Structures are given as C-alpha cells and as structure tokens.
Amino acid sequence: MEDILQMKDKNIVVMGVANKRSLAWGVARSLYKAGANIIFTYRKERSYTKLQKLLEEEAMQAEAVVQCDVNNDESIQEAFAKIGEQTGVIHGVCHSIAFAHAEDLKGDFIETSRDGFAFAQDTSAYSLVAVAKASRPYMTEGGSMIAMSYLGAERVVKGYNVMGVAKASLEAAVRYLAEDMGQHQVRVNAISAGAVRTLAAKGVPSFNEILNKIEETSPLRKNVTQEEVGDMTLAMMSHLSRGVTGEIVYVDSGYNILG
C-alpha cells in the first residue's frame, strides 16, 4: 500500500511526556506506529526515569532522549543543537507542555498573582515561540509543529483560570508562528483536545464534572481518548495535512460546537 502519511524515518521531537497518561505519550505512540523516529525531551531527572521505564514497557525505540527546560533559553538552544547534531534534520515538533501554580487554579481568576500569571504564560505559551526559534535552523526540509490547547482558551471553564489565558496566548502564538515559519515550509497548528485524565488535568478542580458533562452532551456522547488525540496529531503532522497551517483543530467529540 502507498505510504500516504509519509512519516517513515521522519525525525520528530516530542516534548512533555510526564507519564503514560500524557497526551504527548499518546502522540509518540501514534507517530512510532507510523514509522517515525522519536526524540524525547524531558525536564527533570524524575521524568527521565519515568520515560525510560515507559519506553521499556512498550518496547519503543527512542532516537534520543534529551534534557530541556523550557523556562530557560540556554537549555532550549542546547537541547535543539544536540538534537540537530544527532539527526541532521528535524521534521516535526510536538509541544505538549503547560504549567500553572496550583494556587492560581484554586480560587477565583481575579486572585491570580502577577508572578503566577507570568509563569503560566512563560511555560505554556512563550516556550512554543522559543522552541520554534531553536528548531527552525534544523527544519531544513520543511515540517510541522503541533501545540496542545484546550477549550478553556476561548471559553470560561470553571477552575481553568490562568491556564485558559495562557492557552489563548498559545493559540495566538500558533497563528503568528504559522506566518513566520511558513516561508520555511514549516506548518504550525494546535490540537484542542477534549478532557483526558492526565497529570495536568488533575490540577483542575472541576475536572470530573467536565468529563461527565462531555459524556452526556457532546455530539459523540463520549470523552476522547489519548489514542484519538495521538492519531489526529499524527494526521496533522503527516503529508495528508500539507496544506494546513495556523489552525486550531478540535479533538473533543464535537463538544466545542455546542451553544
């Protein structure tokens, strides 16, 4: 059969695997099945250990595993220089990284601290810009960048607070980056994933209510899975979506279309 995805032996960087429930892990699995070479980045030693264990459990071969702290420009530059040196060319980056302080998700949004606001923006939105800049010199054959967003970027989701504002910023960054990176034939899109039980989701106080509501009211009457998000990310990174950039693609059982 003709290889319609054209992902075989493409070098894809996956950022943000915290554990086996992470959306980034779902993405890595889908890409790996399609024949891509996966390069993982991790922030702390703890996530490195977890990642190694996951790779062993799934018998997945990583092309490389590189330390990268997205709150630090030097760390980002070093990580991508190392990846570029090892692979020669980067064909894609999946940025699945977001963080806000727990105290900024607990109370009312109006109580967000200045530091907490800045930190959420830096980690969840600016990091995509910094990663695009660091990876661009190695994306010499064109390619695709994908960020992970959520409906809280454009609607009020109780308890999502400062994270919603950071995701709105991320989605705007996707559009501006799509314009900048387009001249290098690099496409930049975001997946707005429905609620999936991840480590990050645990921090949102109303999470169980959200899951129940989606199951009862979304057009497909079900919550989405990590696999569904992974497969759509694969499709958006593949040859099939070569004409698409600057888009926010919803993988949420249609929940976002409801009034």
Specify whether 250 is catalytic: no
Is 160 one of the annotated active-site residues of the chain?
Answer: yes
Main-chain dihedrals φ then ψ at residue 251, nearest 5 degrees: -120, 80
CA dist 201 and 70 (Å) reads: 20
Q: How confident is the model at residue 2 (pLDDT cuts 50, 70, 90)?
A: confident
Confidence band, pLDDT 50/70/90 cuts, at residue 125: very high
Which stretches within 34-136 are classed as H helix? 45-58, 73-87, 103-106, 114-121, 127-135
Nearest Cα to 225, choosing from 199, 190, 251, 257? 251
Catalytic residue among 32, 42, 160, 255, which? 160
CA–CA dist 121, 103 (Å, integer): 15
* Predicted model pTM: 0.96
What dihedral do alpha carbons 41, 42, 43, 48 form, nearest 10°? -150
- Catalytic residue selected from 150, 176, 250, 255: 150
pLDDT digits (tens, 9 = 90+) for 211-250: 999 999 999 999 999 999 999 999 999 999 999 999 999 9
Check: CB of residue 54 under 8 Å from CB of residue 17.
Answer: yes
- Closest Cα partner for 120 from 96, 99, 148? 99
Tell me which of 138 and 105 has the higher pLDDT. 138
Using DSSP, state whether 36 is helix, strand or coil: coil
